[in-house]
A and B are shown apart, each in its own frame.
Chain A
Amino acid sequence: MASVETMRTPTAGDNSVQAFDVERVRADFPVLQQSVHGKPLTYLDSGASAQKPKAVLEAMDEVYRTCYANVHRGAYYFSQHLTDRYESVRTKVAGLLNAASDQEIVFTRNVTEAINLVAHSFGNSLSAGDEVIISEMEHHANIVPWQLLRDRVGINLKVVPIADDGSFRLDAYESMLGPRTRLVAITHTSNVLGTVTPMKEIIRLAHKAGALVLVDGAQAVVHSKVDVRDLDADFYAFTGHKLYGPTAIGALYAKAELLKEMPPFLGGGDMIRSVSFAETTYADPPHRFEAGTPPIVEAIGLGAAIDYVNGIGMEAISAHEAGLLAYATERLSAVEGLTIYGRAKEKAAIVSFTLDGIHPHDIGTIVDREGVAIRVGHHCAQPLMERFCVPATARASMGLYNTTDDIDVLVRALEKVKELFG
């Protein structure tokens, strides 16, 4: 694992926070040394997918080169060795989320799969007229599975509105909770607005009403320390590729007593106790929910990513990103004709914006020529775009390796966009 020297720097309001040497961090990410169209890469799209440190690349490469085998299968050394390492990642994930037990961690491909798992294995137990509550700022991954559930069992899907500044409206939410509310599925951090939702309160109110809560943590685990027990979350999903790990590996946390009662999602190998044509019995959680050969090497990569992030420290990352967010907000706000969407008080390092009279798609193409990678489009959140009456936005999302220089490059590139459009 790459070691990153930490040093104490005074930070406004909290001088106990440790900052880190961002240049040392950047050196850990080979892709950041690349050029695009003859310009140094300025990567501001970590919210879509983060870049990978050498520690992750090397861990995965090492497995393929030295000890690759299928897991949970063999009586031979490599299979057992890799099974142990694969299962040890479950422990790391449990540690990342502060789960009580690694048996509460189900590996999934991504958050989308995790939510679909809950929508089936838990959702299928719901009845017509039961209610599931989501919010206006959900990613399509936390909308469509519930619509499919609505089509299957006839639940009612209710949508909590958000305020104009992009914050979650607790008052509206509280008034929507009722005796038929069975599940609340809300993002912990909006992928478009950056809004951090008051999740502890959302969960407390849901539990008071007798409902469970699923948290979409795709953006949240990346930017801050998550503690599922402190939150008292029932389900919490995140994905590895946004946490500097590989694609195709993520996890669902679920309370042990819930997993115990839930039927399987996908059927196949690895999730069974015994199979006959007359009857099949299923493995205990979490393996009951992990059919087929898993993304073994990707899981090892995720373990390396968690080690990497822990090595730096989530508090240091949060502090670094808070500084970036403040700087980006200030610099972008000063660009004439630029509108920022999402100004919630609690916010992660994600800035969505538009420029007057210029479509985000054109912005994306032009800044790309300056080496700047940002996301433009609807960000898989079309209802949210409608809420703000825009077809699309441009979005700069920052990670631990970004610098204020990156923001300066973006701002200069935006000035070029405006120059071209005159």
Chain B
Amino acid sequence: MDDLLRDLYQEVILDHGKHPRNLRHPEGANRQARGYNPLCGDQVTIYLVEDEDGRIADVAFEGKGCAISMASASMMTEVLRGKTEAEARRLFDDFHRLCTEDGFTLDQAYAEDREALERLQVLSGVRAFPVRVKCATLAWHAMTAALDGEGQATTE
């Protein structure tokens, strides 16, 4: 098996892909959006429960997709809990750069939660597979759409 594939499909990703965390429709979700990748038909719906202080009290998802998109959605739900909207958006900005920019390191990140970024870094193997970047970012696009109140995000 070649190294690029091993990088892409690391154990952590395969585990999250097979056993996604927070795969549910949470009680009291007050923001939600559907993410759709028309290329492969993958879809996820992201549910957010925002508390009165504007923090994400709970986050979960439902959907079907490839190992990368499921693992990414699963891991996203783990790192977003307790974040403010602004913090969540900053995490996505850095995560997006992790998935697309060769040479991007965590030193250049501006999200506060380094530990979250370190965990998400496991998905940066998609850099070598440009068509798969959309799989890794699908849930995040949907999350952003939910924050924006748009209801739907597509990766096209």
Contact = CB atoms under 8 A, between A and B. Distances in A.
Interface of A: 37, 357-362, 365-366, 369, 376-378, 382, 385, 391-392, 416, 419-422
The SS class assigned to the B binding surface is mixed
B2 interface: yes
Contacts of A421: 9, 14, 67
Given A420-B9, A422-B14, A361 B42 contact: yes
Contacts of A419: 1
Interface of B: 1-2, 4-5, 8-9, 14, 18, 39-43, 64-68, 129, 131-132, 135
Contact of B4 (A369, A392, A422): A369
Contacts of B18: 357
B65 A420 contact: no
Given A366-B5, A369-B2, A369-B5, A378 B41 contact: yes
B41 A382 contact: yes
Nearest to B38: A378
Contact of A365 (B8, B39, B42): B8
A359 B67 contact: yes
A420 B129 CA distance: 17
A360 B68 CA distance: 12
A362 B42 CA distance: 12
Max chain B Cβ within 10 angstroms of own Cβ: one of A376, A391, A416: A391
25 contacts: A37-B2, A358-B67, A359-B65, A359-B66, A359-B67, A361-B132, A362-B68, A365-B5, A365-B131, A369-B2, A369-B5, A376-B40, A377-B40, A378-B40, A378-B41, A382-B41, A391-B40, A391-B42, A391-B64, A391-B65, A392-B41, A416-B1, A420-B14, A421-B14, A422-B14
A151 to B, nearest CB: 21
B5 A361 contact: no
Nearest to B11: A422
Max chain A Cβ within 10 angstroms of own Cβ: one of B5, B41, B43, B68: B41
